[in-house]
Chain A
Amino acid sequence: MSFISYLINGISLGSVYAIIALGYTMVYGIAKMLNFAHGDIIMVGGYVVLTATAAMGMPPMLGILAAVIVCTVLGVTIERVAYRPLRNAASSLAVLITAIGVSYLLQNVALLLFGADTKSFTSVVSIPAVTLAGGDLTITGETMVTIAACIIIMAGLTLFINKSKAGQAMLAVSEDKGAAQLMGINVNGTIALTFAIGSALAAIASVLLCSAYPSLTPYTGAMPGIKAFVAAVFGGIGSIPGAMIGGILLGVIEILGKAYISSQMADAIVFAVLIVVLLVKPTGILGKQVQEKV
């Protein structure tokens, strides 16, 4: 019985990683950059929802909308100011470092605006928890909503990328920027759109993260951001279903590792599993094997 309970807990933790990883993998797969600031955009989303609902008294849905708008604008602005000038830089690492700078910046702005103390977040999910097996197993409303949101977003993104014109443009840009430009695709616009979608997803992720684990500080986003990055790699970089699978697997491994091996070494276990997976399958679970040419 406790195994099933651990499994359920793992899935609920994993679903939070998955929803962050979806936004991450979107930007990562198309703009080909590790956006270290993604976790911090999530943190900003959390503060926006908190301010909107707790301080300004807006209903939760309006708060979420506000977070989506703020994060989208923020994401596009960051891309325009800090990332775009470096897109054609001599090394792709340059933009990675700027992303770290942006991450510090967001954390410190939040620290000045909201202070360092923990804010408790009131869950925006009003669905009650489901108890099974006479109260031994509980599935929270937050878990159900997160998993549902994950599936909807995953399906939506897959459809968008495969069926819409803008989505096809994204695919083209991710394959070959130069060729895409020659085909008349607005590369800058497409990447900006990618960041807009990625940041909007970050806003939604922030709401679900903070509902499931209701504590918010300026550094809330950093660790989930890294975990989501690990999940995205786990599932295969750029693969949207991969991000979801990777996220959920990561959560389950983390919880089972804590439960059956050692709670002190939970992170070491997660990373060790990641290493083993990547050694067996060097491009992640659903990643594509790219042939190298001379």
Chain B
Amino acid sequence: MKMNKLKINKTAKSNFITYGIVIAAFIIVQILVSAGQVSSLMKGLLVPLCTYAILAVSLNLVVGILGELSLGHAGFMCVGAFSSAFFSKCMVEVIPVAGVRFFLALLVGAAVAALFGILIGIPVLRLKGDYLAIVTLAFGEIIKNLINAFFIGKDSNGFHFSMKDAMSLNMEADGQVIVNGPQGITGTPNDSTFFIGILLLLLTLFIVLNLIHSRDGRAIMSIRDNRIAAESVGINITKYKMMAFTISAALAGVAGVLYAHNLATLSAQPKNFGYNMSIMILVYVVLGGIGRIRGSMIAAVILTLLPEMLRFLSDYRMLIYAVVLIVMMLFNWSPKALEWRERYSPKRLLKKKQEAKEGE
């Protein structure tokens, strides 16, 4: 009983540290901004940093907690981004208050992404391992491909829709093309701010951490650790898998909303919503430690900042970035490196000293 209590305190402490880091980062940045010490580059990066941190945390729910490899996370982000940008673009005149509009857009983005999470989750979660990974990749690519062939226009007769090109919309002269195929949506109001980003990141952390430490979370982790054993004690595998997958998709949708309202243009390129992006999010998760929420958040920040910090290298920038990525992976994951770190970890050295003292 005592043990148990201790454990809860420990997780509470760990969660507190996680929230603390985020809040401290926010305060420090705010102080520096008001002191005029923050470069334009850094200011521009604040919202993307939140976006990628949210993505990393949400994917960690599937990869780390549920234990399934998903390579289609960017697809959910894409859906969230496009649905919310579409909403905001249509509502710019109806709802002039940015805060209210953004909040509604957020709900739209998260809900649509969650819906896609359910729709895709039903077939996908029947599969296992690499097969599951490739089917999520396939869904991600399908979403990107379809959005590139998507045209929606609005005129006095209402909405027009086409899967071929903007001409087939047959709009009146006053018509406005809102989603213009490969060009996507231009002119989304710039409603994302660092403050909103931080709030959403905290919300994401709150949802994920609470889920992990709840009864449901333990059920999900039991599926990861041994599916058959979990099933045999009566855990509803499908229900819990769907739960983790859908929440993760909805949170990715939230990140998409943040992304869409940070840039004046939104288009589904391989670079931002393709499998490359899904893999990049996976990199954050693995580098930060599978199943470790705080780690993936920090890894997302490091890996987003790194290429920007390396700008002075000009042509060698991405090359050095790749090398650093490989070295960090080896340092973080290779058993030999771990052993070496174990031997020279300050904590251990401290312990040794203590032991030596006690021995005296």
Contact = CB atoms under 8 A, between A and B. Distances in A.
A–B contact at 8 Å CB threshold (below): yes
A178 to B, nearest CB: 15
Interface in A154-198: none
A88 interface: yes
B145 A265 contact: yes
Nearest to B320: A108
Contact of B333 (A89, A102, A292): A89
Contacts of B33: none
B282 A93 contact: yes
Nearest to B130: A237
Contacts of B139: 271, 275
A140 interface: no
B283 A275 contact: no
B319 interface: yes
Interface of B: 63, 69, 123, 126-128, 130-131, 134-135, 137-139, 141-142, 145-146, 148-149, 163-164, 226-229, 232, 275, 279, 282-283, 286-287, 290, 315-316, 318-319, 321-323, 325-326, 329-330, 332-337
> Which 10 residue pairs across A and B have the least CB separation, nearest first?
A271-B138, A104-B322, A94-B333, A105-B322, A101-B326, A85-B334, A268-B145, A101-B325, A108-B319, A89-B333
B134 A229 contact: yes
Contact of A233 (B134, B279, B316, B318): B134
A274 B138 contact: yes
Contacts of A89: 333-335
15 contacts: A86-B334, A90-B333, A91-B290, A93-B69, A93-B282, A93-B286, A96-B282, A102-B322, A226-B275, A233-B130, A233-B131, A267-B142, A271-B142, A275-B123, A283-B131
A70 interface: no
Given A91-B333, A102-B322, A278-B135, 5 more contacts: A82-B326, A93-B69, A98-B330, A101-B322, A101-B323
Interface of A: 34, 36, 82, 85-86, 88-91, 93-94, 96-98, 100-102, 104-105, 108-109, 111-112, 226, 229-230, 233, 237, 262, 264-265, 267-268, 271-272, 274-275, 278-279, 282-284, 292, 294
Nearest to A84: B334
Contacts of A93: 63, 69, 282, 286, 290
B229 to A, nearest CB: 6
A34 B334 contact: no
A98 B326 contact: yes
A82 B326 CA distance: 7
B286 A274 contact: no
Contacts of A265: 145-146, 149
Nearest to B315: A112
Contact of B321 (A88, A90, A104, A111): A104
A104 B316 CA distance: 12
A96 B283 CA distance: 9
Contacts of A282: 126-128, 131
Contacts of B227: 292
Contact of A108 (B226, B318, B332): B318
Interface of B: prevailing SS: helix
Contacts of B146: 265, 268
Contacts of A104: 318, 321-322, 325
Q: Which of A36, A105, A229, A283 has the most CB of B within 10 A?
A: A105
Contacts of B145: 264-265, 267-268, 271
Contacts of A100: 279, 283, 325
Given A85-B334, A105-B319, A98 B329 contact: yes
Contacts of B149: 262, 264-265
A82 B134 contact: no
A287 B163 CA distance: 36
Contacts of B336: 85
A15 to B, nearest CB: 21
B228 A86 contact: no
Nearest to A272: B142
B330 A82 contact: yes
A230 to B, nearest CB: 7
Contacts of A98: 326, 329-330
Contact of B123 (A97, A226, A268, A279): A279
A88 B335 contact: yes
Nearest to B63: A93
A291 to B, nearest CB: 11
B61 to A, nearest CB: 15
A91 B286 contact: yes
A268 B337 CA distance: 42
A112 B142 contact: no
A89 B279 CA distance: 19
Contacts of B138: 230, 271-272, 274-275
B329 A271 contact: no
B283 A97 contact: yes
A100 B134 CA distance: 16
Given A97-B282, A112-B319, A294-B229, A284 B142 contact: no
Contacts of B123: 275, 279
Given A97-B329, A292-B228, A294-B229, A112 B148 contact: no
Q: Which of A88, A98, A104, A294 has the most CB of B within 10 A?
A: A98
Nearest to A223: B270
Contacts of B325: 97, 100-101, 104
A253 to B, nearest CB: 13
B326 A105 contact: yes
Nearest to B127: A282
A104 B321 CA distance: 9
Contact of B148 (A86, A88, A264): A264
A261 to B, nearest CB: 11
A86 B319 contact: no
A64 B99 CA distance: 62
A26 to B, nearest CB: 15
A114 B302 CA distance: 30
